[in-house]
Each structure stands twice: as C-alpha cells, then as structure tokens.
A = this chain, B = another copy of it.
Amino acid sequence: MAITIDDERLDAVFAALADRTRRDIVARLSEGEATVKELAAPYAMTLQAVSQHIGVLERCGLVSRGRHRQTRPCRLEPQTLETAVSWIEESRRAWAERMDRLEAHLARLQDGQQR
C-alpha cells in the first residue's frame, strides 16, 4: 500500500509547486513550450532568477529543457504532476471511505432506535 518509496520526489514536487512564480510557469507551459526568455518576460526579477526556478522544476521532473539554436525550450512533464495528484487523492479517498462507513453506522444506529 504505497510505503512512499518516492517520498523525496514528492517533497521536491510539492516544494516546487509551493512557489507562485513556479506554479505560474507550470500553468504557462501547459499552454505549450516556451524559452527561458519568454517565460521570464512577465516578471520583475532577473532572467537568472527565472532560470533558477526552471532548474527547480527540472530537478523534480515537472519540466524538461531541450536545446534549439541558442535557446533552451522548456516543456511540461505531466506525469510528474500525476504523482502529486495521486498522493493527494489517496488521502481524500481514504477519508471519503471513512465518512461513508460512519454514515452507514449512524444510519444503523438510528434504525435500531426507531424500532
């Protein structure tokens, strides 16, 4: 039952998504590839800072960088997003199941009282 082999990976993915700028970059990459310069354009910070953000996204597997002429086009790696979602869904599923059982139990109790 998923003894969380990839705990470090999850640490890194959630930490990466904990930053507004990086979430923004992910959202923009979901619309298609973009170069570092293009991704940096909207922000007040330096290009280097954005490159570092992309480095964080790359190291945790959310993004990959290629090479085309003098640019490094970035693309989303959606299956890494998947690992984050599936971790969360696991907890929500367990909780929902538990609530269902509780509800059923309460219904049985009430049945007993009415008789």
> Which positions in A face B, CB cutoff 8 Å?
4, 7, 10-11, 14-15, 17-20, 23, 26-27, 29-32, 76, 78, 81-82, 84-85, 87-92, 94-96, 98
Contact = CB atoms under 8 A, between A and B. Distances in A.
A79 to B, nearest CB: 9
Given A85-B85, A92-B78, A98 B31 contact: yes
A78 B99 CA distance: 11
* Dominant secondary structure at the A interface: helix
Nearest to A26: B91
Nearest to A31: B94
Contacts of A89: 85
B18 A98 contact: no
